[in-house]
């Protein structure tokens, strides 16, 4: 696929991601969170085609550059998970990593970060609580809104 | 819409940015969990099918025997309806596992009736229709997604009117029904990996904390669940040890008892 076609496809996907967000979200959530979530869903889209069920529920917040936050989540051995982080802030750099309850990095090596999108992949070795750490590495904004979605198969 | 248009330019620019190459993110190999002072308080409760999917990978499960199609009584207390709604949505996931289209369609209607009972029917109508359509086409992935959307929309609608506690009861009802079926399956064909799926101590603590803050819901069922969670906790919160067949059986007895209490009138 040529680069223009790729960009066109991505643009269409992002707009589609915004359109399919439940209307209730627009009614009750800060618009920046809606956009941040749309970017997280954009990152998730290729994985849906691979059979991942992307949860409707998600986490959101805002961070200053260099700040991080931890989300605690129950994961089940036998499943495979991806966590997708997005922000709407141009030129921001974000990251997401997964640690087990002992604080040991537990993600797969194909986890990635790409500007204002990042994703972490885990195939849990045990059932229990894990920590998903989201951080804003750099951002031109004083506070950078973020949204974290996850999917499993 | 104005905001949407303003943001469109930056979205398109951002998507152009995706042409940049992805890179492997460097992360510390170890973090001190106790020093993570900034933890997000929001909890996303796993869906029943998240657990059922893991269970399926351990061996074939006869999901049909867990499909429930009893008619529930009409409750007037909103907390009872919320608990029942969570249970019925979980029943929807079970019916999907069993690929039982008539049961899924019936559950779609019941979900809608219960949602109306707590005043959030409008936000559920399109999902109920989508569930029924997808069941007709036996498109199980779509049914699962719509059940997830249903639960999410119910909770969003409740949160909008500051009924967060009812929203938490929907999650709790689903979790209890999911745990009842999980323990029933593992009890029949015990395996350590199956029993390990019960290792959810933080989730249990989350529900206990939320229930403690619901003093205004002075209903026998709420107290029964509180007492039951106290019983369940030591059975599943055992650190790195294995959860025994006896513990699985006890958790099944407790959650089955609660499940019956949730669907029956006092």
pLDDT digits (tens, 9 = 90+) for B230-256: 999 999 998 889 999 999 999 999 999
- Nearest chain B alpha carbon to A111: B24
Give the per-residue pLDDT at A24: 43
B176 in Cβ contact with B225 (< 8 Å): yes
A-proximal residues of B, 47-66, CB under 8 Å: 47, 49-51, 53-55, 57-58
* Residue among B3, B22, B29 whose CB faces A31 most closely: B3
pLDDT, mean of residues A75-83: 97
Give the residue-averaged pLDDT of B204-228: 95
Residue B110 half-sphere exposure toward CB, CA atoms < 13 A: 27
- Between the alpha carbon of residue A72 and those of residues A29, A101, A133, B94, B195, the distances in Å are 22, 9, 9, 26, 22
Among A2-11, A115-124, B223-232, the range scoring the smallest mean pLDDT is A2-11
pLDDT in tens, A93-126: 999 999 999 999 999 999 999 999 999 999 999 9
* B9 vs A: CB within 8 A: no
Put simply, whether B46 touches A (Cβ < 8 Å) is yes
**B249-B250-B256 Cα angle (round to 5):** 90
- pLDDT tens per residue, range A44-74: 999 999 999 999 999 999 999 999 999 999 9
pLDDT at B232: 97
Spatial separation of the C-alpha atoms in residues A143 and A66, rounded to whole Å:
11
Structure tokens at A76: 């089940």
> How would residue A31 be classed by pLDDT, with cut points 50, 70 and 90?
confident
pLDDT for B188: 94
User: What is the pTM (predicted TM-score) of this model?
Assistant: 0.87
| Residue from B91, B88, B159 nearest B123 by CA | B159
Q: Which two tokens stand for residue B5?
A: 């248009």
CB contact under 8 A, B55 and A78: yes
Closest partner CB to A24 (pick from B156, B193, B202): B156
Residues 6+ apart with CB under 8 A from B160: A24, A27, A28
ipTM of the complex: 0.88
Q: How confident is the model at residue B27 (pLDDT cuts 50, 70, 90)?
A: confident
The answer for B 147-206 residues in CB contact with A (under 8 A) is 148-149, 151-153, 155-157, 159-160, 193, 196-203
Instruction: With CA atoms as reference, report the closest residue to B185 among B257, B256, B112, B87.
Output: B256
């Amino acid at each position: 696929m040529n680069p223009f076609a790729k960009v066109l496809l991505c643009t269409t996907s992002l707009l589609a991601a915004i359109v399919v967000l439940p209307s209730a979200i627009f009614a009750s959530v800060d618009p920046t969170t809606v956009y941040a979530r749309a970017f997280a869903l954009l990152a998730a889209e290729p994985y849906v085609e691979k059979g991942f069920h992307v949860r409707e529920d998600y986490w959101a917040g805002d961070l200053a550059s260099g700040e991080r936050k931890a989300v605690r989540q129950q994961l089940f051995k036998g499943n495979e998970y991806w966590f997708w982080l997005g922000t709407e802030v141009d030129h921001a750099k974000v990251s997401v990593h997964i640690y087990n309850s002992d604080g040991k990095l537990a993600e797969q090596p194909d986890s990635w970060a790409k500007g204002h999108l990042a994703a972490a992949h885990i195939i849990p070795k045990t059932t229990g609580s894990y920590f998903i750490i989201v951080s804003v590495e750099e951002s031109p904004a004083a506070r950078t809104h973020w949204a974290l979605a996850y999917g499993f198969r | 819409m104005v905001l949407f248009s303003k943001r469109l330019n930056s979205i398109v620019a951002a998507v152009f940015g995706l042409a940049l190459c992805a890179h492997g993110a460097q992360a510390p190999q170890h973090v001190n969990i106790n020093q993570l002072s900034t933890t997000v308080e929001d909890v996303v409760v796993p869906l029943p099918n998240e657990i059922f999917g893991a269970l399926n990978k351990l061996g074939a499960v006869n999901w049909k025997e867990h499909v429930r199609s009893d008619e529930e009584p009409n409750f007037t207390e909103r907390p009872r309806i919320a608990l029942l709604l969570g249970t019925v949505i979980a029943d929807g996931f079970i019916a999907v596992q069993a690929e039982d289209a008539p049961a899924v369609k019936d559950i779609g209607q019941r979900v809608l009736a219960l949602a109306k009972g707590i005043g959030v029917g409008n936000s559920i109508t399109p999902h109920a229709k989508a569930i029924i359509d997808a069941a007709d086409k036996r498109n199980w992935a779509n049914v699962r997604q719509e059940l997830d959307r249903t639960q999410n929309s119910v909770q969003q609608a409740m949160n909008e009117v500051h009924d967060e506690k009812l929203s938490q009861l929907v999650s709790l009802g689903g979790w209890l029904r999911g745990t009842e079926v999980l323990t029933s399956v593992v009890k029949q064909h015990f395996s350590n990996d199956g029993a390990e799926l019960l290792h959810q101590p933080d989730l249990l603590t989350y529900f206990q904390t939320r229930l403690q803050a619901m003093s205004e819901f002075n209903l026998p069922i709420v107290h029964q669940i509180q007492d039951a969670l106290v019983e369940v906790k030591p059975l599943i919160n055992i650190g790195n040890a294995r959860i025994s067949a006896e513990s699985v059986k006890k958790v099944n007895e407790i959650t089955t008892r609660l499940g019956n209490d949730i669907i029956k009138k006092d």
